Amino acid sequence: MSGGELQTFGSLSERELQVLELVAAGLTNQQIAEKLDISKRTVDNHISNILTKTATENRVSLVRWALQWGKVCLDEYNCCTLPLAEDGVVS
């Protein structure tokens, strides 16, 4: 992982974190859209923004990044409670 990822560690919004968690759970963009009651295009945009912010190239590298930085919890692996700032961004 490159050093640029450290700069983006806390810059994911609450909605982006929700999308990231669902990507890590293996859901497709359409399934994520249905679960969050948003359009697939909105999910596509969120994922594009997340990939840019995390300097990752695809869903696999994104999930690896999320596990490394404790952004997602999979089957009780790498689980932690992340504090939210007042603006809804993980601090």
Question: pLDDT tens digits, residue range 23-61?
Answer: 999 999 999 999 999 999 999 999 999 999 999 999 999
Pick from 43, 51, 48, 7: nearest CA to 22:
43
- Computed on alpha carbons and rounded to an integer, the radius of gyration of the chain in Å comes to 12
Quick one: DSSP state of residue 78? S
Decide yes or no: CATH 3.40.50.1220 for domain 4-68: no
- Sorting pLDDT into bands at 50, 70 and 90, what band is 1? very low
In the prediction, which pLDDT does 43 show? 98
Average pLDDT over residues 62-87: 70
Predicted confidence (pLDDT) at residue 76 exceeds the cutoff of 80: no
